[in-house]
A and B are shown apart, each in its own frame.
Chain A
Amino acid sequence: MTRPSWQMPVLLTALTIGILLMGIQLWVLTVALDLLLGGEGSRVWQLALVSGAIFLGGVFVLNLLNKVFSQRERTD
């Protein structure tokens, strides 16, 4: 079975963006910890929301890619 030529660039792009966003999430977590230790913990919720939005975006993209790949593989 050969792989469609468009799959690899799409996967690599998604992977690169995903890893970048994960880096941002890690940074957001360090900022949240910094705020908590600095006594400004009330602002940590906002950062948790940002982190959650990134996570939900990742889940959405993963589901979308899985759907598209399985659909195309069936038609190819």
Chain B
Amino acid sequence: MTNTVSGRQEQWRAEFPYHWDEDDTITRRELLRFTVYTSGALFAAAVGLAAFNRFYRSRAAGVKPLVRLSELVPGQAFHFNYPDPDDESILIHLPEGRLVAYSQRCTHLSCSVSYQPERERLFCPCHDGAFDPRTGEPIAGPPRRRLPRITLEETNGIIYAKELLP
């Protein structure tokens, strides 16, 4: 009887040669391999971000005419695109008469900031971030870095954008 049972077991093992002892080891080794593959994917993603920045974000700007000085009203903003056609920027004629220009890209998560002259701030509606229009420094909300500044130059009554500074 016992011989018959053990004979059946042997037959079963012969038909389904599954090594239970190795099961855990194989699973863990596979998991380790999968971890390394995932690590490679994360590395590739980081390289992709760096490459995106290198090829799409770091183009040289150059000098670009913006607007006639006579058209600017103190306390108002003028919107333009600089350095690329899809980079929104803002030129502010401060109430005291000074001109400042910034990228409109919020330094938190790249939402577009807008000028609120009545509250004397540049406001990002995504997470209630705010910047000082005189300096571009963050004054409220999650942003921790200042807005990228655009240097300006006036020649023959025309305002030119010269350079984007981080």
Residues of chain A having any CB pair with chain B under 8 Å? 1-3, 7-8, 11-12, 14-15, 18-19, 21-22, 25-26, 28-29, 32-34, 36-42, 44-45, 47-48, 51-52, 54-55, 58-59, 62, 65, 69
A12: min CB distance to chain B, Å: 7
- Contacting A at CB under 8 A, from B47-67, are 47, 49-50, 52-54, 57-58
- Residues of A close to B53: CB separation below 8 A: 36, 41-42, 44
A18: min CB distance to chain B, Å: 4
The A interface, classified by DSSP as helix, strand, loop or mixed, is helix
B117 interface contact, C-beta 8 A: no
How many residues from B make CB contacts under 8 Å with A? Answer: 37
Q: A15-B28, A38-B108 are in contact. Are A58 and B39 (CB under 8 A)?
A: yes
Q: Contact check: which of A11, A25, A33, A65 meets B49 at CB < 8 Å?
A: A33
Q: A38-B145, A51-B43, A51-B46 are in contact. Are A3 and B103 (CB under 8 A)?
A: no
- Residues of A close to B45: CB separation below 8 A: 29
